A and B are shown apart, each in its own frame.
Chain A
Amino acid sequence: MAPALKLLVQRVALGLMLLFLVSALIFVGTQILPGDVAQSILGQSATPEALANLRQELGLNEPALTRYFDWLFNALQGDFGTALTNGQDIAHSVGNRLKNTLFLAFWAAVIAVPLAIFLGLLAVRFRDRWPDKLISTVTLASISIPEFLIGYLIMYFVAVKLRWFPSVAMINDGMSLGEKLSSIAMPVMVLTLVVLAHMMRMTRAAILNVMQSAYIETAELKGLNRFQVIYRHAFPNSIAPIVNVVMLNLAYLVVGVVVVEVVFVYPGMGQYLVDHVSKRDVPVVQACGLIFAAVYIGLNMVADVVSILTNPRLRHPK
């Protein structure tokens, strides 16, 4: 187990280091670029006195490095400061919205992951026949269609024409689970469609890659039937690549959520971020950017950790 453990520790350490560097990058990205926060808040016509006062108030006269570490340590303790636009505690607003976003992403994943793997297997089973061709056509189309088009198409037909669901996905704590699910049905549908094709295609490629290995031929030449070949020989070697596919797509989902939330006016992180970007509310943008990046890096890390854990060479060293 020793080499696997070493790799594991290395991978997690790398993830943490990446996160640290990303936080620095986000901080730098919002600080060193032209104009400062005070100018953004007050606009071009602000008097020099007002600017100086606000700078003092926001601590902008401190050296950048000090401000960065203050920000980072506070963020690590869950304190992201207050929003410039309305003076609310960011951590509090983020908390609720993060919960909503995760709720949405969770249900999208619950539907999309098994469906994508199932359809991916189907494509492999019927390789080069119509189900496979259909899947590759749909994939081509889906990487070419922006998320908001899928969103509005569904809204136009399902909510406006068919009137099955409300066109806006409102959600609050007072709702029962059923009500919540009905409310997020359309955004979940869109997110599922957004990742489904990608995930299907990648699953197909991952399994085909395994199916082309020489040991699959060995299994076929043992007289095993197709199901036994897949179950006994292809499956154990497909876990790592499939988990990888799933994680990559969940990471993709995190980005897709931003647009979908805006389309359906869903009170989640994505909408919160977009709102405050246009208002140039830098502390909020930093906090949201950091959280999105952390989730993204985290998912990628999980994918690598799984592939380390399922690698027979590492699990059973010489």
Chain B
Amino acid sequence: MKINKYLLTGIGALALGALTASAATRTWTDAQGRKVEAAFIKLDGETIYIQTADGSVHPLPLSRFSAEDQEAAKTMAPADNANILAQVPTNATAAQAAGKIDQLVAMGLQKGNVKLAEAWRKQVAEDAKKGVKTPTPTALKPNPPCTDEQFIRRVYLDIVGRIPNYTETSVFIKSASSTKRAELIDKLLASDGYVNHMYDYFADMLRITEGTNQVRTLNYAQWLKQQVVANRPYNEIVFEMLTAEGKVWNNGAAGYLLRDSGMPLDNLANTLTVFLGTDVACAQCHDHPFSDWTQMQFYQMASFFGATTTRLNGKDFAGGDPEKKLTEELTYMMEKQGKDVKEARIQVQNAVRNVFTANRMSIKDRDQNGMKLPADYKYKDASPNDPVAPKLISWSPKDKENPAYKDAEAELGTSSTSKSTSKKTAAKAATSAAATASAAAKNEGLRNTFAKWATHPQNPRFAMTIANRMWQRAFGLGLTQSVKSIDNPDESYNPELLKHLSSEMVRLKFNLKEFMRVVYNTKAYQSEATTEALAMGEPYYFQGPVLRRLSAEQAWDSYMTLVLGDKVDSIKNTEADLYGRSVDLDLEKATPQTLISKVTALQTLGQKQAAKMGGSLAMANKDDAKKKGTGAAMEKMEDEDMMIVKVGNMKLMRASELEQPTQGGHFLREFGQSDRTVIDGASKSGSVPQVLMMMNGDAQKLLTDKESLIHRTLKLAKSPEDKTEIVFLSILSRKPTLREKDLAKKELQAHGEEGYSNMIWALINTREFTFMQ
């Protein structure tokens, strides 16, 4: 029996493991009468799984088959090993796992065509009444495979967050190896640049800032980078953030809760949105108007954090709040030294307050849960200001059977509802010391219970949300309209694919690097970008990635690559260490002397930072600078390894190493870097100031500077033709076309050396540079 290619679009030569057909085979016929022989595996909603003779299992839309087959499928019993057959084997290679994804993408396209055809038939019937001829719709089909030139630019921007430099591009394009794409993916995933770019993604998602309430929380960013370096499983990273204790410089993960110190309800809303793809922010103030979430449910979830404080006060110190006592002692010391009393007091108070404010920013689980309903609570199930006991939300009635819930319920125990700070309950509890101790222990463990549930592999949304986010990173669109609100997975663009990606996330044990390796190896990812405009609200079937504007970080880091080359990936910011060491103080044990040492350390911190900066572009590319003996530029270099080059107001480092976020007016902000107030707050739209910056900005000037890497690379070539090729390969990662070569030749004849700067300027300002195909 001939296997019909059209019916089984997407079936590669790939067999998923050594699986053989176990059930009797049957001849299946599609709506157009084409046939294929295969064994029935299972029917899952509108998707039928059949296994062909080569052992591979194909998910296909049921609607593609003849009415007779559809009826048959509904009555047939699933194969014994149906669920195993439909899954990817535990130890599948990236290529095998990618093949499975491609099958599901192909199936999604077919379903899309069925829908298109249905809509078309309806339209024909309507138009016939009016006597109008209906144009035939174009069938959806996968985009053609992308070229090596398109691939290398895309994969560098996606994985390491910058364009490839001239050498990287030319080596790859020249290579004749059949496995060079997979090898490049592996190389990039293992590189420093991967860390920079993955961090950029998380920083936008988690709204990472330099500080909160005048306290610098740089260690949070540093900690997150370390997790990415170690490729720590995502569920562990999130668990640690949700359960962290202490100060941010002793435990960077504490930055997650400290980021929203003083607004725990906002923090919770963000937690549910960012990690569980569930938008319940409305329920913070009233029952959700469109979903089922109630305000009570929101507060029940918030109650898991009701015993947690992010700011230490009198309650948290054995001997009461030490600030007042220390201030008095210090003032007394200064008075004895003959300082003017009033002035001394102000100075001391301010200095002490700064150190205290910083060291009070610490997460601690208290033994009492203070979560109460708001004063304006207006629903009948409780009264305003009532204490609220913790309770988990669920998305479907089936969730109760889910191990994630069973574990949590076991920890909460049946008495969880009686635990509260209400006076009555507290009075009763006081009669039994044991009960009090147990309630206290439970309160201290609430966050832990929540975090275990939230990051549990079987949580109905956790794996799905990060899988959807990672898919969006690669394709430019998620499988749902918004990655922040999955709502109903069955209404996503491709429900089978979304569910499969979630199970892949679990199979890969939340190893994001492995997950991305699979995605980057798919044919879908390695297809050309979709050229048509996408209609808002219409489903997308992942014919290939969509055309994306570079993120602010990708654009800046690409500029840096043109200036410094690939060494830009290894320049690191170490500021967090210095700040943490300077400010940390154990408030319980603080003495006037230790306090003074902290104040002094903070004051000298600024000078240390400034000493690490300076220089010029020549110095950044210092091998050459040495040869040319530009001694003046070298003067400021105290410690060559630690040195950060600053030209004008720009530190020549990757976005991930700069201020978080950079100040308004910086290249990154003008290009749309998030101000980090909102989840995924980055913008990809243009503006007049942004275009002005691309035309006349300081960063632009760096590129046309004779010391930038691109200019120095030009010196290596002799002929104008070769030089033109270098300019194109360096900026657009492709060779010039014949027409472009001709244009370049004329430009060089007319303007000589200046012509290269003009070409660089022109290419940087093309849409081709600003967008990624």
Chain A bound to chain B:
no
